[in-house]
Structure 1
Amino acid sequence: MTKHISNIPSWSMVIILALLVGFSSCKSKKKLTKSSDAPIVTTTQEVEPIEEPEEKPEVEPVEKVLSKEEKLTNYFNAVATSSSTASANASIEEALTMFGRPDAPVLIVIYKDGSEAGYDEPTTIDNYLHYLKDTKNNKAVIEEIVYDDNGQIKELVLKK
């Protein structure tokens, strides 16, 4: 057997050993092809830094300023849909700050015949808010608001 190996030229032995070592060190052909597929890029040019766009200062969203009518409607809904008596009472107290006095009259239109309107029995804003709390029903919409000289509501007309 020694004779048989000695007949192979020495340079071919080196190639065979190199191939054996090369293939035994590779774990898979897949890794070998991946590394050989990646292009090697070398440049001697100076790379200019990429300028990021200037950061614009964040614009805070403009809060919509609610009209007094919208605020009052929100209070009516909060009282009618409150989950507890305590939260309903808190909403009632806040709503009453919009009125000049807690006994400000509230008129409720129940029907209209042309230019004449029929009203339910007059009540006060305090009684009406407690009615909303008890019935949990807010079907009336604001038809007219009368303000005093201080900007407080002095009379309210609702429509069912």
Structure 2
Amino acid sequence: MKRHTCISKNWSILLLLALMVSFSSCNKKLFKKKSKGAEPVATSTAEPNSMNNPVDESEEEPIEPMEEVEETAPTPKKLSKEQQLNNYFGAIANASSTSSANASIAEALDMFSDTDAPVLIVIYHDGSQPSYDEPTTINKYLNYLKDTKNDKAEVEEIIYDESGLIKELVLKK
């Protein structure tokens, strides 16, 4: 009977420790959620009294306000054209309706100098010499994505015109 009591106590202690760990992690998450919207702590920028605290001004460093640890609203990062194109390809291939796919196609085409801009798809790399699939245009390729819902190609190279629009695109499978 003593052995059963000892095992029971060990399990009780183990269970108690597990509960304490889980509650402490929950409190940390809860605290982070509550503190996200909190205002930053104000700091004093008052000058020290020179009579009470004689300090050489050449050694004195300016006091800067404390920075927030977490931002309340993250600033959106500017995506590169390559990332934007990959996002459009995914949006077109995974569109819930034809009209939303067509809207994404129209937005993507605004990045190109011409709707007939050539698109080359690398299907095989043999050293420095790539093998390409049959050339197509960006308009045809985007409609192909809409029809097949297949978004396996990624941007490998972008060639721009003088105005900063895409004039040729190389994709890799």
Alignment of 1:1-160 (within 5 A): 54=42, 60-160=73-173
Q: How many residue pairs end up in the alignment?
A: 108
Shift of 1:59: 6.2
Larger radius of gyration: 1
Query: What do the CA deviations read for 1:23-69 (whole angstroms, capped 9, x no partner)?
Result: xxxxxxxxxxxxxxxxxxxxxxxxxxxxxx54999765221111111
Q: Secondary structure at the match of 1:110?
A: strand
- Tell me the amino acid that sits aligned with residue 113 of structure 2: G
Q: Secondary structure at the match of 1:134?
A: helix
Query: What do the CA deviations read for 1:118-146 (whole angstroms, capped 9, x no partner)?
Result: 10000000000000000001000111000
> CA 1:60/1:83 → structure 2, altered by over 3 Å: closer, same or farther?
closer
TM-score, length basis structure 2: 0.59
- The corresponding residue for 2:48 is none
TM-score, length basis structure 1: 0.64
In structure 1, runs of 5+ residues without a counterpart are 1-52
Tell me how large the CA RMSD over aligned residues is.
1.8
